[in-house]
Structure 1
Amino acid sequence: MPFDYKKEYKDLYQPKQTPSIIEVPEIVFVGVEGKGNPNDENGPYAAAMSVLYSISYTIKMSHMGSFAIDGYFPYVVPPLEGFWWMENGTPGVDYGNKNGFCWFSMIRLPEFVTQEVFDWAKEESAAKKKLDTSKAQFLRFQEGLCVQCLHQGPYDDEPATVEMMEKYVLENDYFVDLSGTRRHHEIYLSDPRRTASEKLKTVIRIPIKKR
């Protein structure tokens, strides 16, 4: 059976609909940074999605070709994730100003992926898919101490879940630690093209510190 990160790391990808505290370890990602409304079908966010999935599936399917990767194992491509902030420098998210969104969208990569493997997949995607992969980044990131919660429903209803999380943080003697290096984080467990908005499942994660 292919290794499935969602099932093997339930603490990271299957939280409850009530807030909880988690220490997030270092994780390897392919990511693309940009800004603008993610709902723009022809905008930079849509272009970033093409690059992320192309590189991710190029690595996943590498065993079918001549490029051998040390330590390769079959796996399920993990869900799309994203860090979000505002173009005016505000570290939080203003859901009413989607045109002002800044984002770093990403997909987790297996631990066997090195810079060399990533560079190969980036070039392979550019050549075979005719994509501009120049903005794709290879990132090792340790998020650290966070509060997280499963939000079920439309993305525009997330503020109520965030408010519940912030209240939980204060009640448990922590404080929200959003900054230029610690961002509002979302993990998308549902495909919005195939899932009714009221059934969408999104992990919301916010960095915190102990008081």
Structure 2
Amino acid sequence: MTKIDFRRTLDSYRAGSGEFRVLDVPPMRYVMVDGRGDPNTAPEFTAALEALYPVAYKLKFASKQDLGRDYVVPPLEGLWWSERMETFTSARDKSRWNWTIMSMIPEWITREMFEAAVIKAAAKNPSVPDRVRLETLTEGRCVQTLHIGSFDDEGETLARMHHDFIPASGLTMTGRHHEIYLSDFRRTAPAELRTILRQPVTSRAPT
């Protein structure tokens, strides 16, 4: 049985350090959990991971056992937003951040499989049914780059993306800031973290 690694097969997981890339991201389905607050200190963030991962892995095992289609669970991803974008670039006030953490699932995973995985995960964590949902994310045209290093050092890269590259390309920001964690931040030194930073955009209307 061939195991699919979506990090190698999907173009949307491709990014280079020091360069901004414009790409069109197709609609993709995710297992999602919402929350708010500093991910470094908020118990809600830890609880969200504890709800998300069991469902994601139960879907992977069900796919392998029931459908004969095995895959590597894709990297953790997150949508981040706030009433003021400055909290991401300059102030970095994480207590004001809203977030959705999520894990992409293949198109052949059915809603029935998702619901069965939630029931199984709820046997050990009763909060799972109230936290976890299945949703399609449609981002369309995006700008993304690869950030290497601490999350706290993202501000300068994001400022160049938001204030320099996007306007100079005739684009405007739309949608939510998106991060894809190619490294496991629970086990990787901050200086070695590899994170794709993505911003949905739209063509700027002529003036």
Could you say whether these structures have the same fold, taking a TM-score greater than 0.5 normalized by the shorter chain as the test?
yes
Task: Provide the rounded CA distance (Å) in 1 between the counterparts of 2:110 and 2:46.
Answer: 26
Counterpart residue type for residue 184 of structure 1: H
Alignment-derived partner of residue 102 in structure 2: 106
Summarize deviations over 1:122-158 as a string: whole Å, max 9, x none.
011011x234111101001111111100011100110
The unaligned stretches of length 5 or more in structure 1 are none
Shift of 1:91: 5.5
Summarize deviations over 1:46-98 as a string: whole Å, max 9, x none.
11111111001111112676xx3xx5510000000011012xx3356435311
**Aligned CA-pair RMSD:** 1.7
Quickly say closer, same or farther: Cα 1:176–1:115, change in 2 above 3 A: same
Task: Provide the rounded CA distance (Å) in 2 between the counterparts of 1:124 and 1:151.
Answer: 36
Alignment-derived partner of residue 5 in structure 2: 4
Higher helix share: 2
Task: Provide the rounded CA distance (Å) in 1 between the counterparts of 2:194 and 2:176.
Answer: 20
Q: Find the residue that maps to 1:191 and give its secondary structure.
A: coil
Q: Residue 62 of structure 2 contacts residue 113 of structure 2 at CA under 8 Å; is this kept in 1? A: no
Number of residue pairs the alignment of both structures matches: 198
> Does residue 81 of structure 2 align to residue 85 of structure 1?
yes
Give the 4+ runs in structure 1 shifted more than 3 A. Answer: 90-95
> Does residue 205 of structure 2 align to residue 208 of structure 1?
no
Task: Provide the rounded CA distance (Å) in 1 between the counterparts of 2:62 and 2:165.
Answer: 44
Counterpart residue type for residue 198 of structure 2: R
Alignment-derived partner of residue 36 in structure 1: 37
Q: Find the residue that maps to 1:61 and give its secondary structure.
A: helix
TM-score, normalised by the number of residues in structure 2 = 0.89
Task: Provide the rounded CA distance (Å) in 2 between the counterparts of 1:81 and 1:93.
Answer: 19
Q: Find the residue that maps to 2:138 and give its secondary structure.
A: strand
Calculate percent identity across the aligned residue pairs.
35
Quickly say closer, same or farther: Cα 1:171–1:30, change in 2 above 3 A: same
TM-score, normalised by the number of residues in structure 1 = 0.88
